[in-house]
Structure 1
C-alpha cells in the first residue's frame, strides 16, 4: 500500500518533537493535505494535540503494547480512517534510540521507524550548542543500521551567526537542514506533573495550534518534508480491522450501551478501544463525570485514564453521580477502570470523596511510576477468565492503599496489583480496576470478554427524580420580542445584554474606518483575522452582519427534513427558520434540572439542531463533550456562542475545532457595545460556508463592522475581553448572593453576564408578571421571560452590571418581595 510517511525524532526529550510534529500536521493540513497523526509509545496526551491538528483521531504505535507485527497494520488503519490520508506524520518517543529499559532499543523511535520503513526528521534543540550539533546528528545517523535520518530541523535557534555555525556543522553529515525555529516560548504547550496539559483542558489549544501551524509553515520547508515522506517505499499487508481482530461477524440489532468516561478529567484512552467495542456489538457513549449523568440504559462502564487529582473537588461535588455509580457498580455493572478510573472508584482521592466502589483510598506522592509491564489476569471476571496474559504500561504519581483481603486484578512477576471484585455476588469479578493501561488492539480478547459481560448485564436506568427534557408543544411566544423593547428612556436598563459604549481604542478604529466609506466594503482582512483567532481555515469563516444574518442565511440555504431548536434560548434562530418556511420542533430544558442538556432528548431524526452556549436567557454553559454527542452523520449542529466571549477563558467552545457537521455562530456586539453596528461571523465546513456566502447579499458587512472584526481579534482585545469576563463573573456572584438573600435564587448555574429569575413564586402577587411591571413602575427595565419558549410570565432576565448600579434594582425588588409576602 502506498503511504507517504515520516517519523519525527530527537536526540532526547525536550528538544521539541511534539512542537514540530504537531505543527507539521497542522501546517500540512492547512496546505490542503489529509494528514494522519501517530505517536510512538504509550502516551495519550500528544495524540490529543495530533487530533486537534489533523481533524482526525490521534493513534499510538507501540510494539510493547500491541506487538511488532501490528505496527504497520495499525498505521495503515489510522491512515485510512475515517478517509484515506495523503501523508502520515509519526511523532517519536524520548531520544531516537531510547526504548524499554534492558531491551536494546526495543520500542524506541528507531525501532518503530525501521519496522515502518519510514525516513526520520530529526529535531535538535541548538540553544546550548553550535558546532557540536553536527557531531550529534552524525552519531545518531550512524549509530544503528536501518535508520535513515533524511532531514534536520534546528529548534530554539539564536542569532543568524549561531544558525550559520550549526548549518555548516550539520552540512558535513550530508543531511539537509529543512527548517529553523527560533526561541519562542509562545508555541510551547504548558506542562504539569505528568507532562503536557491535555488538549481538552486547554481553552487556548486551537489558537495555539493555529499559531504553531503558521510558525512551522514559515520556518520549515514543507515541500521538502513531503518529498522525503513520499520517498518511503510501499507497505505490504492489510490494514488492521477491529472486526477481524475479534473474529466476529457484523452485529445486527440491539447494541448495549457502554458508558465511557470523558471530559477534562478522563482524557486518556486509545481510539481503537471504542472501535473494538463497536465491532463487538456494543455502543460506547461518552459522558463527562464533571457534568453528565450516567447514560440511561448503560450495561457497562469504562473509566479510562486522566487527571482526576486535578479535578477532585469538582468530581466530589457531583454527589448525585457518585452515589448512582456506587449503586450501579455495587449491583454488578461490568466495570473496567484503568489508573484514573481506579482512583475515581476509590473512597477518597487526596481526602476528597470519590465513588466509594472500591475499599481503598488514594493519595498523591512525589514519586513517579513509569514502566512497561506484562501481567496475568488474577481472577475470572469482566475481561475474561483468569490466566490471560496482557501487556501494558503504568504512569502515575499516586498510591492506592486497599483494604486487606482484596483479590488483585493482575499478577506480575514481582507483585500483585489492582482490584478484581464481585460486589453483587455474581460469581465473576464484575469490577476490574488497576494502574495498568492496556491497548486492546494488542489484547483483543479483552474487548471480547467485556462484550460478553456487558450483554449479560442488566441496564442501569436513570432515576426518575432526574427526568430528561422532553419534546413538547407550548403556547406560542413572541419570537420577535427583544430586550430593547423592554427598555425605555429614563429607565435603569437591565433588559439589554449589551455592555456600555465601546472602549476608546475601538471607537478610534471605527472612526478611522469612516475614511473608507466611499469604497465598497471588503471582508478578506476580517476573514483572515477571525481564521487566525480560532485556528480555522479562512474558507471556513463567513463574516456577517451580526448573528441574526447568520441565522437567516442558514434558514434560507438549508433544506432540513426535521429541525429542532433547544429552548429556552435566543429566539432569532427559530424566527428565521419559521420565516423561511421550516417546521420547527422544540426540546425544552427544565429549570428544575438546572437547564442542563440531555442529548438523548433530541430526536434521532433531527437533521438540523440549533442550541445556544451559553444559552440566552438561562446562562447555562453546556459541556463540549455533551454537545459533541449531538454530532451524528447527516445532521447539522448549529451552536450560537454569542455570549461565550463573556465567559472567562471561553471554555466548552467548539469554535476552534473543525468538526464535521458543526456550525458555530459568534457575535461581537454584546461584549464590545456595538449592537448598532451589527458585527458577527459564522464558522463551519468550507463547502457549507461557500453556499451561505453565495446567498449573502453583496456588501452586507459594512467597512466599520469589518474593521471592528479585525480589531476585536487582536491579542490586546482578547485579553481585555477576558478581563471583562472575569469582572462580570465577580459581579454576577455578588448579585446572585444578594438575590438569594431575598429568597430569589438565580435559576441554574449561569455563566453569562445575566441571570434568570422566577419571580412568580416567592414574590407572588396577583399576577405572575406583576413583579416585572412593579419594577418598571420603580424605574427599572428587565427582560420579560415569557417571550422565550419554555418560560412563563413570572420569569425575568436581569443583565449583570457593577454592584453599585444594581442597588436600585435590589432595593426595589426587596420592597416588592416584602409587599407580596404581606399580601400573601
Structure 2
C-alpha cells in the first residue's frame, strides 16, 4: 500500500475556474513548503505546463482512454514520487466524459479509479442560493461514486454575495475559500484555449499573484487535511525502466532478436521552445529508459539539429502562431528536410505534422514556408477538431504494423489543404498525415505509456539509423584477400616517366614546395592563364577551400555523387540542400531543379557513382549572377563535355590525378576558375599544402605526351567498362548507362555481402544519398577480373531478393 495525500479539483462545467484554482493551489502549497505533484485529467497539454511552473515538477496527465484504466494509479504514483501531496485538475464538468461512453474518462471516472477526494470549484457570478442546489446535485448524483469533500467559490461579486452563497450551503460541505472576480489572475486564451505558460513572458509573475491570492483566501491547512484523508493505494508505481522492451520490438525477417535496450546508441532530438510545448512527460522518460539520449532543441532559434541526431521527435504546439519565425529559420528547415529525406527516423504529432508541410497559414496572415518534407500544405480550419479517437494502422510503418489499434486524441484548428503522398498514418475520419518506414506524421496524439511498442520501435529505429555514410570511402570495402572492384583507381602500372618524376621530387624535400610551376603547366595543358589555376592537395582540399570561401546562404549539392563536398560544407558550419536526381529520369539534371536562391551548386560530371555525364550546356545553365557552380571532373578523362578548357563566369572546375594515374597516396589535384575566385580560394589555403611529389605529378601529367597517354588510358577504361556492362546486361542485372570507369548496378539487397563471401569487394551504394542497398558500384578492371566477377555474380544473383523500386518523394529539392 502506498500513502499519497491527494485531491481532485473539479467543477460543474468548463469555465468555472478549475485551472486557475488548481494551479493557484499548487503554487500556494509549494510556496508553503510542500512538494506538490500536479496532474491533469484528460489529454490536455496546456494546463500541465502551468502546473509545472507552479510546482517545479513535470505536469502529468491521467486519461483512461489514452492509457487504459489499469495504468491510472501506477502513473499517478510514478508522477507523484517524492511529493508529499498531489493535486489533480479535472476536465469539463465533473461527470462529463467521452461522448457515448457513459462518463468514461470523466473527472469522476478518474477520481473513482484513483480513490481521490474531490474539491469543487464553482463560479457563483450569476447565481447565489442556486449554487447550493448545484453542489447538492453533484454530490448525490455520483455515477461513478465520488467523494466530494469541499468547495471553493470563485468569481464572487461582493462579500454580501459570497455570504449568501455560503449560508445556502450551510453544513452540507466545507467552504474552503472565496475568490473575488480578478481578471489579473486569468490566463489569456486564443483559438485552442489557454496560451501555454512557455509562451507567456509574464507567466511567472502572474503565478506569484495567483499564489498570493489563493494563500490569502483559501484555507490551505484544511486543503491539506482533506488531501491526507485520501485512502492508501494498492499499486506499484509505473516505471519506464521495467517495460519489457524486447517483447515489443520484433526483429526484421532474417535478423536475430536484439539484445539489451533497443535505443542504445540512439540520440533523439526533441523539439521544444515556445512553438512546441505539447508532449507528455512520460514520452521522454520512455525514450531514455530504452537507452536513448534525449536532446531538446528549439526550432525557433537553433540553426541545425543537435550533433549526432539519429531520431527526431516533433510533438504538438502552435506552429501556426509562430509560423513567421519558424519559416525564417531556413537553415534548420533545410537540415531537417535533408535529414528526413536521408531516412532519419521521425515522429511528428499534430504541430510536428504542420511543421513538416510545405507551408502553414497562420490565423491572420499568408502561408509561410515550412520544412517541406511532406508534400502538403496546411491552413486554418473553420472550426476546432477535438475528439478522442481509436485508430487502426493501414500498413506497416515506423511505429505501427498493419491492423494494430491505438487510442489517441485530436486537438487542432488546422487542416491540410493538399493531401500528402504515401499511405496515411492511421485509418481515421480525417486521414491527414503520412507514414513510411522512417516517418510517422499525423494529427493524432498518442500517450506512449499506454502504447509502449510505439516508443520501442521508434528508439530501435533511431539506434539502427546511420544515414548515408558521407565519410564512407570505397577503399573501406577492399580488404586483404578480396579482389578489389570497389576503388576507382586505374589498376595498370604507372608510366615510367611519372614514377621517375615522383622519385626525383624527393630531391626537393629539403625546401618548402612552390606550386607556381605546376600551375603554369596545368594552365598550358588546358589553354588557360596561370591566374586561372590553383594547385590543391587533391579534390578534397578544393572542396574544403570552397566551403570556407564564403558564408554560403543556400548551398546545394546535386546527388547521388561523391559525398566529400557535403562533408566539407557541413564541417564548415553550412547546412546544404540536396537535389537528388532520380533513377526514373536516368539520374539526369534539369537546371530548373536547383532553387533560384542557391548561391553555391556542386555537381559531379560524370557523376559518381552513376557514371551519368551531363552536357556542358546543362552545367553552364546553372551559372548566374551571385552563384558559384563547382563541377567535379575527377572522371572526365576524355575531356568530352568538359568545362576545363574555357573560362566560364561563376564556374569552378575541379580535377584530380588520383584515379587515372593511380596515385591516391600523393594527393594531387587542381581547380580552374576566374582569377578573383582563385585569389579568394588561395586565401583559404594552408601554406605549402601541396607537396613536392604532388607538384612533380602535376607538371609531369600536363605534358603533351602525358595528355596523349591519358586519353589512351581513358579509351582502355571505356573498353573495360563496356565489357563489364555487357556482362551485367547478359545476367539480367539492371545497370545505369555509364561514361565513367565504373558501373552502377542494381544487383539486389544482400548482393554486396554475397559477393564478399565469394571473394569480391564492390562499392556499397547506400551511403550515396538517393540510393539504397540494392545498388552497388563496380569498377572497370582487366578482362580476367571482370570475367571472374561476372561468374561469381552469376552464382549468387539468383538467390538474392528480387530488386524493388526506389521510393521517391516526388520533390525536386529533397530535404536532408
Partners of 1:446 and 1:439 in 2: CA distance: 9
Q: Deviations over 1:738-790 (max 9, x none)?
A: xxxxxxxxxxxxxxxxxxxxxxxxxxxxxxxxxxxxxxxxxxxxxxxxxxxxx
**Helix, strand or coil at the partner of 1:302:** strand
What's the CA shift for 1:452? 1.4
| Deviation by residue 1:336-392 (Cα, 9 ceiling, x = unmatched) | 000000000000111110000001000012211000000112222211422221100
- In 2: Cα distance, 1:96 partner to 1:252 partner: 41
1:134-283 matches, within 5 Å, as 134-144=132-142, 146-171=145-170, 174-247=172-245, 251=261, 255-283=265-293
Q: Equivalent residue of 2:417, what SS?
A: strand
For 1:201 and 1:415, the matched residues in 2 are separated by 29
Which one of the candidate residues 345, 351, 355 is aligned to 1:340?
A: 351
Alignment pair present for 1:436 and 2:444: yes
SS at match of 2:317: coil
CA offset digits 1:680-718 (Å, max 9, x no partner): xxxxxxxxxxxxxxxxxxxxxxxxxxxxxxxxxxxxxxx
Tell me: CA distance 1:132–1:347, structure 2 relative to 1, closer, same or farther (3 Å): same
TM-score where L is the length of structure 1: 0.54
Compared CA separation, residues 462 and 66, structure 1 to 2 (3 A): farther
Cα distance in structure 2, aligned partners of 1:55 and 1:94: 25
Work out the CA distance in 2 between the residues paired with 1:25 and 1:352: 39
Aligned residue in 2 for 1:57? 58
What is residue 446 of structure 1 aligned with on the other side? 454
Q: Say which of 422, 427, 432 aligns to 1:411.
A: 427
- In the alignment, the residues of structure 2 paired with residue 314 and residue 100 of structure 1 have an alpha-carbon distance, to the nearest angstrom, of 37
Kindly report which structure 2 residues correspond to 1:308-457, keeping only aligned pairs within 5 A, or say none. Answer: 308-350=319-361, 351-403=367-419, 406-412=422-428, 414=429, 416-421=431-436, 429-457=437-465
- What is the correspondence of 1:766-781 to structure 2 with a 5 Å cutoff? none
3-state secondary structure, aligned to 1:454: helix
Do the aligned partners of 1:328 and 1:460 also contact (CA within 8 Å) in 2?
Answer: no
Residues 420 and 433 in structure 2, CA contact (< 8 A), matched pair in contact too: no
**How many aligned positions are there?**
455
Cα distance, 1:405 vs structure 2: 5.1
Change (3 A) 1:215 1:362: same
Distance 1:13 1:253 in 2: 41
Kept in 2, the 8 Å contact 1:300–1:454? The answer is yes
Counterpart residue number, 2:86 = 88
Q: Residue 295 of structure 2 aligns with which residue?
A: 285
Q: Tell me which residue corresponds to 1:784.
A: none
Give per-residue Cα distances to partners, 1:303-347, cap 9 Å, x unaligned. 000000000011110111111111110110011000000000000
* Secondary structure at 2:391 match in 1: strand
| 2:266/2:463 contact within 8 Å kept | yes
Deviation (angstroms), 1:253: 10
Q: Specify the SS of the correspondent of 2:243.
A: helix
Match of 1:306 among 317, 323, 331: 317
Bigger Rg, which one: 2
Aligned residues of 2:119 and 2:150 also touching (Cα < 8 A) = yes
Map Cα deviations across residues 499-526 of structure 1 (whole Å, 9 max, x no partner).
Answer: xxxxxxxxxxxxxxxxxxxxxxxxxxxx
Q: State whether residues 250 and 279 of structure 1, in contact with CA within 8 Å, keep that contact through their aligned partners in structure 2.
A: no
Give CA-to-partner distance per residue, 1:777-817, whole Å, 9 cap, x none.
xxxxxxxxxxxxxxxxxxxxxxxxxxxxxxxxxxxxxxxxx
Secondary structure of 2:422's aligned partner:
coil
Q: Distance in 1 between matches of 2:419 and 2:67?
A: 33
Structure 1 residues 593 and 297 mapped into 2: Cα distance closer, same or farther (>3 Å)?
Answer: farther
Q: Which runs of 5+ in 1 are unaligned?
A: 422-428, 464-589, 595-824
Offset at residue 255 of structure 1 (A): 3.3
State the distance in 1 between where 2:446 and 2:231 align: 31
1:126–1:403 distance in 2 versus 1, CA, 3 Å: closer
**Aligned CA-pair RMSD:** 2.1
DSSP-derived class of the 1:416 partner = coil
Does the 8 A contact of 2:357 with 2:370 survive in 1?
yes
Distance 1:131 1:593 in 2: 72
Alpha-carbon distance in structure 2 between the residues aligned to 1:178 and 1:66: 33
Q: CA deviation at 1:401?
A: 3.0
Question: What corresponds to 1:776 in structure 2?
Answer: none
Q: 2:10–2:120: 8 Å Cα contact kept in structure 1?
A: yes
For structure 2, the residue ranges without an aligned partner over 5 or more in a row are: 247-258, 362-366, 472-547, 553-816
* 1:162-213 deviation per Cα after TM superposition (whole angstroms, max 9, x unaligned): 11110011116x1110100001111001111101101110011111111111
Which residues of 2 match residues 479-628 of structure 1 at below 5 A? none
